[in-house]
Amino acid sequence: MILTAEISLYPNNENFIPPIDNFIARLNQYDDVEVKTFPTATIIMGEYDRVMDILKVEMKTHREEYGMGVFVAKFIPGYEAL
């Protein structure tokens, strides 16, 4: 099943752009999902389990590298947004 996830990151850091840019760059390294970035959110679309596995890894990586951050997400199973 296809999953579209729309995700925004709000780092708990005065210098918030580098953590966001890093998160987006890390999502773009995967060639088995589609990623499109907009001014307020990034959409990642692909097979359900793969998208969830990627987000699990990259959210944990963000926490380990930058500390606290708030992720706000919408998940739309069965919908191809891109």
Instruction: Name the β-bridge partners of 2.
Output: 47
Residue 34, H or E segment: strand 34-37
DSSP annotation string for 2-28: EEEEEEEEEESSSS-HHHHHHHHHHHT
Res 69: pLDDT: 94
Average pLDDT for residues 2-31, to the nearest whole number?
A: 95
Structure tokens that stand for 35 in this block: 């990623």
The pTM assigned to this predicted structure is 0.90
Domains and CATH numbers, the chain: 2-77 (3.30.70.930)
Average pLDDT for residues 18-42, to the nearest whole number?
A: 97
The residues, any chain, with a CB within 8 Å of residue 49's CB and separated by 6 or more, are: none
pLDDT digits (tens, 9 = 90+) for 61-80: 999 999 999 999 999 999 88
